[in-house]
Amino acid sequence: MSNYVLSNETRDKLMGVATPTIATALFRRGLRNQFLQDVRPLSPKKANMVGQAFTLRYIPAREDLNTLEVFRNPEHPQRAAVEQCPPGFVLVMDSRKDARAASAGSILISRLQVRGVAGVVTDGGFRDSPEIAALDIPSYHHRPSAPTNLTLHQAIEINGPIGCGDVAVFPGDVLVGDNEGVIVIPAHLADEIATETVEMTAYEDFVTEEVLNGATIIGLYPATSDAPKQKFAEWRKQKGR
């Protein structure tokens, strides 16, 4: 697990930036595959999901080892992950992009919410998805799935490297989720990405306002002269940003 600790300052910065902006900042650093594929929010939220990754890995179920009785064991990896994921972290599940059986249901995700977990993500599906969508905790999956996880998934490991939505996720990486999806920031880049994307967001807001007022994007996005930069500086002063 990474030794990185997400600061309140960096968390607050990332709460105000969109996943496309983060994707561009990561692309500048050669990271092209950080946005989780086919993973979507269950319901729109007013604020971003931001937190470090705490992971759970599933493998294909083997029937003799995956009976309902396993849930009586408090050390069962799925149950243990729900109780061990630290407050402020995001529980990320590798379900092998298989939504034919659920990764978790509303009771477990309600428990995560009460424990102060920042969000929950799977590249599979959730059961009880209408109830989960109504919770405050940000939740992301591929699609609804009623069958219990035991049908196809065997929880096998907590807090090791996983793949989720075709993206490598290491424990301690920083996940940001918005109403578009989820992106993974390598832990060692989180602070600089946060600072850079706050600046990018301000410029993008300025450009959007200019374009809606009739400006051309040529020379403005990206800025190719000092004129738009000077106008942006005046705009920031006016807006208090």
Q: In 3-state terms, what secondary structure has residue 25?
A: helix
User: CA 91 from chain center: how many Å?
Assistant: 9
Q: Find out whether 167 and 34 touch, Cβ atoms under 8 Å.
A: yes
- d(CA 6, CA 194) in angstroms, rounded, equals 11
Q: In 3-state terms, what secondary structure has residue 212?
A: helix
Residue 106 marked ligand-binding: yes
**Measured between alpha carbons, how far is residue 206 from residues 115, 200, 215, 221 in Å?**
39, 10, 11, 10
Residue 95 marked ligand-binding: no
Q: Per the structure block, which two tokens stand in for 60?
A: 């294909």
Q: Find out whether 211 and 88 touch, Cβ atoms under 8 Å.
A: no
Residue 22 marked ligand-binding: no
Residue 178 marked ligand-binding: no
Residue 160 marked ligand-binding: no
Q: What is the dihedral of CA 153, 158, 164, 169, to 10 degrees?
A: -170
Q: Which runs of consecutive H residues, i.e. helices, occur in the chain?
A: 8-14, 19-28, 77-84, 106-114, 129-134, 190-212, 226-239
Residue 139 marked ligand-binding: no
Q: Per the structure block, which two tokens stand in for 102?
A: 């659920």
Q: Which residues are annotated as a binding site?
A: 105-108, 127-128
Q: Which residues are annotated as a binding site for Mg(2+)?
A: 128
Q: Which residues are annotated as a binding site for substrate?
A: 105-108, 127
